[in-house]
Amino acid sequence: MGQKTDARIFRKGVKKNNWEVKYIEKSNEDFSLYVYKTLEIQKYLNRFFGLYKIKIHSCKIFYSDSSLQIFISFYVTTKTMYVIKKN
């Protein structure tokens, strides 16, 4: 017997972690390098935005041969505005 899932979850479009990364690796070493870079970028962004009490909604990271593109969408609350004005 298969297990049933609640279809309302799919309609809401709620995702637990919305980090998206796109890159093309040429070898296994490139793959591990990109994974390491991505983890370090995520850790830095979470720490940076966490200092100002800003919640990251989604972050998309795109690697190419000569550039790195990061697109971040975030929430700003009244508490966030208070912390920013205070600094």
Between 47 and 84, the higher pLDDT residue: 47
Cβ-contact 83, 53 below 8 angstroms: yes
pLDDT in tens, 12-21: 555 555 566 7
Global pTM reads 0.63
Determine the pLDDT at residue 44: 94
Q: What are phi and psi of 44, to 5 degrees?
A: -65, -45
pLDDT in tens, 1-46: 566 666 665 555 555 555 667 666 677 778 888 889 888 998 999 9
Q: What is the average pLDDT across 52-57?
A: 83
Q: How far is CA 9 from CA 14, 16, 18, 20, in A?
A: 7, 11, 15, 20
Q: What is the average pLDDT across 50-61?
A: 85
